[in-house]
Amino acid sequence: MLDGVDLALGAGERVAVLGRNGAGKSTLLRAAVRLLEPLRGAVHVDGAPVTERSTLELATTFGYVFQNPGQALFCATVGDELAFGPRNLGWPADEIRRVSEDALRAMLLDGEADIMDRSPRTLSFGQQRRLTVALALAMRPRTLILDEPTAGQDLHATTRFMAQVMAASESVYFITHDVDLALTSADRIIVVDGGRVVADAPAAELARDADVWSRAGLRQTSLVRAIRDHVHGAGGIPHPFDLARLIPHPEGTHPS
């Protein structure tokens, strides 16, 4: 349940909604796409109440990617999955084929042999994750919304996946409990706890606010401490691999 939330999210933003499990972060963004209807208050999209927009209209405004690929994959083939949304919008076959190919290319799935004819169930978990993003991209939304986008992936896969996502859409909002992911992938972080927004600030500024982590019940990771101690001034957050080079190490050792 959300309480007293008053936020505006703009075009071109990279926003992380960060919080521990049960904090209300998923509720916040699901209300924006009418996956949940608020009992009180209002949600506006482009200045109009979200209740005045149809599900199909919202699908071309927001591409929502669920945490579990199984929630989005139900067709017999990858091609059918990609065509499902555009076909329901009445797009012509040649346009559907074009957006499907573009979406696969954006998520680096176009190199898979006979990908359009394969069952989504034959893909690896990582490929299924990328396919669910491709399904959203095929609708040509202005904004991608991802729920726990890197769950079940290692650091290398996470880094590559988020780079692909950020390059594929003008605006990206993502829900996460991963402090380091929020710091390295977002320009703005909204911290939610108990259904309330407890912080809303640029990533670099938030990393230096020691109080916010304890207020939200979030762990101050090594990255948070390193940013606070070794990164000064405005600007983006270095990748952890680059940040490691800024940290003094005992003589004869070096960061791996």
Residues 8-67 have pLDDT tens digits of 888 899 999 999 888 788 888 888 787 877 777 788 888 888 888 877 788 888 999 988
Across the chain, mean pLDDT equals 84
pLDDT of residue 188: 93
Percentage, residues of the chain above pLDDT 90: 34
Percentage, residues of the chain above pLDDT 70: 88
| Strands (DSSP E) found in 84-237 | 143-147, 171-176, 188-193, 196-202
d(CA 50, CA 112): 38
Asked if the model's pLDDT at residue 252 lies above 50, the reply is no
First to last CA, the chain: 43
Q: H/E/C letters for each residue in 7-63?
A: CCCCCCCEEEEECCCCCCHHHHHHHHCCCCCCCCCCCEECCEEHHHCCHHHHHCCEE
Reported as a pLDDT band with limits 50, 70 and 90, residue 245 is low
Cα separation values, 223 from 175, 227, 241, Å? 19, 6, 10
Instruction: Find out whether 94 and 102 touch, Cβ atoms under 8 Å.
Output: no
Q: Which amino acid is at 138?
A: A
Among 140, 50, 126, CA closest to 86: 140
The b-or-e profile of 209-228 (16+ CB within 10 A means b, else e) is eeebbeebebeebebbebbe
Can you tell me whether residue 145 is helix, strand or coil?
strand
pLDDT of residue 99: 96
Please give the backbone phi and psi of residue 254, each rounded to the nearest 5 degrees, phi first: -155, 155
Instruction: Find out whether 192 and 23 touch, Cβ atoms under 8 Å.
Output: yes
Interval 165-172 mean pLDDT: 90
pLDDT digit string, tens, across residues 185-222: 999 999 998 888 889 999 888 888 878 888 888 888 88
Reported as a pLDDT band with limits 50, 70 and 90, residue 254 is very low
Instruction: Find out whether 26 and 147 touch, Cβ atoms under 8 Å.
Output: yes
Lowest mean pLDDT among 2-11, 21-30, 231-240: 231-240
